[in-house]
Structure 1
């Protein structure tokens, strides 16, 4: 015979862990995107300075 209380507890625990896993994945993806954008911007700035040394360095944009 199955224990209905244990089944309800396990179901609730699975829901909570799935929600936490989803939030952690979303936070990781956001940090990964920010890191890749910063890397792309730094790489482009470096190569623009190499190819066009007379060009002034870009200023930080305000958001």
Structure 2
């Protein structure tokens, strides 16, 4: 869904993820000087494939969900 929203194809993993997998990185925050700052990591940074593969492996170790491991 994130890839499609950004005009891409395939999978684009969230920079900060909710339990649902949805992107929850805030678009803006308030800095120490009370100025609004744009938070760009949710829209401009991408996880490299090794991060994703490591996360999938950790998920499998925690759940032993064989169907997920074989299909994902």
TM-score (norm 1): 0.31
- More relative contact order, 1 or 2 (CA 8 Å, 6+ apart): 2
Q: Identify the structure with the greater helix proportion.
A: 1
Q: Identify the structure with the greater strand proportion.
A: 2
Structure of larger gyration radius: 1
